[in-house]
Structure 1
Amino acid sequence: MIKQVTPPLAAASSENKILRRRVANEYIGKSNNYNAFKQDGTDLEKGVKWGEQYPYAFPMWFGPSVCFLNIHHPDYAKTILTTTEPKDDLAYRFIESWIGNGLLVSKGQKWFRHRRLLTPGFHYDVLKHYVKLMSESAQVMLDKWESYANTSETFELFEHVSLMTLDSILKCAFSHNSNCQREGGTNKYIKAVYELSDLISLRMRTFPYHSDLIFYLSPHGFRLRRACKVAHSHTRTLQRNFDFLDILLFAKDENQQGLSDEDIRAEVDTFMFEGHDTTASGISFILYCLASHPEHQKLCRNEVMEALDGEETIEWEDLNKIPYTTMCIKESLRLYPPVPGISRKLTKPITFFDGRTLPAGFQVGTSVFGIHRNATVWENPEVFDPLRFLPENVSKRSPHAFVPFSAGARNCIGQNFAMNEMKVVIAMTLKKYQLIEEASLKPRIIPRLVLRSLNGIHIKIKPVEAQK
């Protein structure tokens, strides 16, 4: 257990290192380090197993001197997520060469100012106009799937969904019709995002690569710079268009100061990544969950058919008419959160609800995956049960028991955009297709910047008419 030790803020760095060791060793033995993760599809399960031994948190070692306290209980997570502590200076520092010092990475007054300037872009009146564009992008994907429906062929859906969410974010945020879903071959931007995600994850778990010089000189550093060029080249073309970019270009604070060109580029890169890749992960796993649970899929389809009442596409007003489908979406986000973890670096000592404290300078990770599968919080946490999200059941839980979009001041600014897109895509898919599990190809989930599957996400589909 952590002792109640709160060192002076001016403590020497060597003393802080000793404290980190002391704090960590009181939690768990030396075996719980990142080297135990083999990237074989079992890593997140290991974290859940470790969490069963320790009620609130355990340390995770990255090399010989970097330690994160890994939190997997909502009562501890609340203490972290209700602060405005900055993101950690390890993992998020590695992302900065790609997405710059935008809303995801920035801290302090810069983060506060950017958040305030960008918030109008996610207002109700802005979001409702995006539903039609989301529907158009979803329809293109569903039309492409007709060949799979006619042959009952198994297919990997993550790549399809990634193209669809990329198409959607380009239309909604940047008024850019990319035609990326109809182009042949692999989209260069999506390929670059996949490679960047893999390389940043590799750098995180390879201790020598924590050195900027060593990583820069390595083959992996070269590959990351090359992938960054591809991603930045793509986003530069978007700066000729408007919509979300309008907000960035014309936003002014109380001193009539706007965003610099560098700030605008960072926010474009950030929104491109967060607006397409995380949503693609969420939608892909939702479709998988519904394929794996046909009884819930049927209830969702009946609800969607009644809500649409013969209409071909879904409208803004329909989004609140599918409560059971929304519960299924949330239950999938619980089991497969698109962002499996969040990390912060403490700028001052903190005290948890039970009186235990951590010193300034400590790195703290909140395991969203671990919280969502914590058996002391969720009954039968491995079971897919949408009824967990009935209002009367939600009211019995901590608001920090379900945090797929984080929580507090630094929660995801685009969470309503993402939820709307998930509802649109799931509703339109269920209206057209029956989703069928491919039992021989269950996803082997791995932690990257977003949740992925080592072997892809495979399903079969049939036209809904075939069920009549």
Structure 2
Amino acid sequence: MIVTTVLYGALLSILVVFLKQVYQFKQWRRLTAQTTMLDSWHPIWGHLHLINDVSDYIRLVTDKIQTSGTKMTSAWMMFFFPVFTVCHPDTAKVLFKSSEPKPKYSLGGSYRMLLPWLGDGLLISDGKKWERNRRLLTPAFHFDILKPYVQIYNDVTEIFLEKLQKACNSGKSIEIYSQVSLATLDTMLRCSLSYEGHVQEKGDSHPYVQAVRRLGFLSIRRLMNPLLHPNFLFWLSPTGREYKQHNDYVHEFADEIITSRRKSLEKDPNQLQKSKLDFLDILITAKDENGEGLSDLDIRAEVDTYLFEGHDTTASAISWAIYCLAKYPEEQEKIYKEVTSVLDGRSQLSWEDMSRLKYTTMFLKEVMRMHSPVPFISRWLTKPMILDGVEIPENVTVDIFIHCINHHPDVWPDHMEFRPSRFEDYKSQDKDPYTYVPFSAGSRNCIGQNFALNEERVMIGALVKRFKVELVEGHVYEEYPEVVMRAKYGIKINVKQR
């Protein structure tokens, strides 16, 4: 009798869950029917059978906006998991202007996939915690702090250029995405943590760079596979086990640097009297209005976030900038003339030169429009929101496809034409400021955007002063969006001495 009762109870529970799912499915179907849904919807798999990675999804959304001009699309990751994507400034700015958080706890939330790695740092945190930490970290990006970094950019770039010199001397092509990643990691370690680990000299595959690359790839793989969304299934899977291996390494890497600095400061507190504190000094010593500092876990989350965002996104921008230099030789020569004119016989760019590199800056902006370093970001709706005339309910993730905004025909009619001059009078053209958001927008815009732009200017300026770069005939140059915009087969170039 007891067994029968339990059995009936279990069946009833299953039936209730099933009926709730059917009801929810019908509700979602009515909602997605009001939006521009992607083509080839399957009643069970949704659009999942068309999507192996983010590049497939971006292609589907891009194709749809090119034919329909829509400002928002919807798709299904299997029959129970609808996805909404805004791809136009009119819809994106509603989210940018809001205080809606990142989707870090929802089952299909993209930032949930990054949470074990980056922790609840500035990228992912929200609410009072985000406001407090943003306020505490802002001094690390003051111009007085950024100014001496230009010399570090120059020092790091010189090591990078020596690698290009070897390729030039040998007459062999060189894959530069991996080399640029090492250089930007070197820059981040030196500037933010005063750590000189000689990462560029140690070889082409520093384990930290490799770990970050795999963590990004594995995070996207999990995002695209709903079966890996539940934590217990993910950690038991081969993908989850590999993720844990790389995750443990990057945490140990950061912990060692933090522990070493704490011991050093305990031994000699007078170190904090130096004129310029680095990012880690500020993290360790920061106190809020209540006199409370950051916990060890908070500090590690910020270091992990800063190392990732500061080196990987910038590496993407610089690598695609070098690709564009090679693809558009006339642009390369314009930048060469500007850089040599600004230098006026000097060997290295200085802080004062940054604002004078006007065409180089326009070139870099166009690179980041054409090849968005961060292809997409997301928000979690805590209340209903009207997007493109459709009320999206609360507790839903909405993706903001920056890459699709950068290629929307309403915004950029000639979006596939590489034309830096479009930014010459950009601010005076009465353009919506949300048409171009390479560093996000609103209150949660990138805190390190000036740092990144200056690093890009120095590396590109130093490169064109010394070398000409050309594409390698027969090599396939293909975007591969993950957490950042990578190159599927790398970016190979030939290097010629000037």
SS in 2 for 1:459: strand
SS in 1 for 2:372: coil
**Which residue of structure 2 lines up, in the alignment, with residue 22 of structure 1?**
30
SS in 1 for 2:282: helix
For residues 428 and 169 of structure 2, the distance between their equivalents in structure 1, rounded to whole angstroms, comes to 41
Aligned-residue offset at 1:436: 0.7
Instruction: Provide closer, same or farther for how the CA distance between residues 330 and 434 of structure 1 changes in structure 2, counting only shifts above 3 A.
Output: same
Aligned-residue offset at 1:22: 2.0
Residue by residue over 1:198-224, the C-alpha shift from the partner in whole angstroms, topping out at 9 and shown as x without a partner, is: 111110111100111111111111111
**Which residue of structure 2 lines up, in the alignment, with residue 278 of structure 1?**
313
Matched, 1:77 2:127: no
Matched, 1:253 2:288: yes
Aligned-residue offset at 1:391: 2.0
For residues 372 and 37 of structure 1, the distance between their equivalents in structure 2, rounded to whole angstroms, comes to 21
**Which residue of structure 1 lines up, in the alignment, with residue 495 of structure 2?**
461
Name which of 176, 184, 190 aligns with 2:195.
176
Name which of 473, 478, 486 aligns with 1:444.
478
Name which of 309, 322, 326 aligns with 2:357.
322
TM-score, normalised by the number of residues in structure 2:
0.87
**Which residue of structure 2 lines up, in the alignment, with residue 313 of structure 1?**
348
**Which residue of structure 2 lines up, in the alignment, with residue 100 of structure 1?**
119
> 1:42·1:446 contact (CA, 8 Å) conserved in 2?
no
Q: Please, which moves more after superposition, 209-218 or 437-446?
A: 437-446
Residue by residue over 1:290-316, the C-alpha shift from the partner in whole angstroms, topping out at 9 and shown as x without a partner, is: 110011110010000000111111110
> 1:41·1:454 contact (CA, 8 Å) conserved in 2?
no
> 2:314·2:456 contact (CA, 8 Å) conserved in 1?
yes
Instruction: Provide closer, same or farther for how the CA distance between residues 86 and 49 of structure 1 changes in structure 2, counting only shifts above 3 A.
Output: same
Q: Which runs of 5+ in 2 are unaligned?
A: 1-19, 42-46, 262-276
TM-score, normalised by the number of residues in structure 1:
0.92
For residues 116 and 63 of structure 2, the distance between their equivalents in structure 1, rounded to whole angstroms, comes to 34
Percent sequence identity over aligned pairs:
38
> 1:57·1:73 contact (CA, 8 Å) conserved in 2?
yes
Instruction: Provide closer, same or farther for how the CA distance between residues 172 and 404 of structure 1 changes in structure 2, counting only shifts above 3 A.
Output: same
Matched, 1:44 2:53: no
> 2:168·2:494 contact (CA, 8 Å) conserved in 1?
yes
Structure scoring higher RCO (CA < 8 A, sep ≥ 6) equals 1
**Which residue of structure 2 lines up, in the alignment, with residue 215 of structure 1?**
234
> 2:34·2:390 contact (CA, 8 Å) conserved in 1?
no
Name which of 413, 416, 431 aligns with 1:379.
413
For residues 60 and 292 of structure 1, the distance between their equivalents in structure 2, rounded to whole angstroms, comes to 35
Q: Which runs of 5+ in 1 are unaligned?
A: 1-11
Amino acid at match of 2:486: R
Residue by residue over 1:392-445, the C-alpha shift from the partner in whole angstroms, topping out at 9 and shown as x without a partner, is: 566332111111110001111111111111111111111111011224223211
Instruction: Provide closer, same or farther for how the CA distance between residues 20 and 345 of structure 1 changes in structure 2, counting only shifts above 3 A.
Output: farther
**Which residue of structure 2 lines up, in the alignment, with residue 351 of structure 1?**
386
Matched, 1:190 2:204: no
Larger radius of gyration: 2
For residues 417 and 194 of structure 1, the distance between their equivalents in structure 2, rounded to whole angstroms, comes to 22
For residues 220 and 163 of structure 1, the distance between their equivalents in structure 2, rounded to whole angstroms, comes to 25
Matched, 1:128 2:147: yes
Residue by residue over 1:53-79, the C-alpha shift from the partner in whole angstroms, topping out at 9 and shown as x without a partner, is: 252010132333222211111111110
Amino acid at match of 2:291: Q
Amino acid at match of 1:247: I
Residue by residue over 1:271-325, the C-alpha shift from the partner in whole angstroms, topping out at 9 and shown as x without a partner, is: 0100111110110001101110011110010000000111111110011111011
Instruction: Provide closer, same or farther for how the CA distance between residues 129 and 13 of structure 1 changes in structure 2, counting only shifts above 3 A.
Output: farther
What's the C-alpha RMSD, in Å, of the aligned pairs?
Answer: 1.9
Q: How does 1:48-67 map to 2 (within 5 A)?
A: 48-52=62-66, 53-67=68-82
Instruction: Provide closer, same or farther for how the CA distance between residues 294 and 211 of structure 1 changes in structure 2, counting only shifts above 3 A.
Output: same
**Which residue of structure 2 lines up, in the alignment, with residue 31 of structure 1?**
40
For residues 330 and 255 of structure 1, the distance between their equivalents in structure 2, rounded to whole angstroms, comes to 41
SS in 1 for 2:33: helix
Instruction: Provide closer, same or farther for how the CA distance between residues 257 and 13 of structure 1 changes in structure 2, counting only shifts above 3 A.
Output: farther
Aligned-residue offset at 1:348: 1.0
Instruction: Provide closer, same or farther for how the CA distance between residues 59 and 43 of structure 1 changes in structure 2, counting only shifts above 3 A.
Output: closer
Residue by residue over 1:366-407, the C-alpha shift from the partner in whole angstroms, topping out at 9 and shown as x without a partner, is: 100000001111121011000110125663321111111100
For residues 39 and 158 of structure 1, the distance between their equivalents in structure 2, rounded to whole angstroms, comes to 20
SS in 2 for 1:461: strand
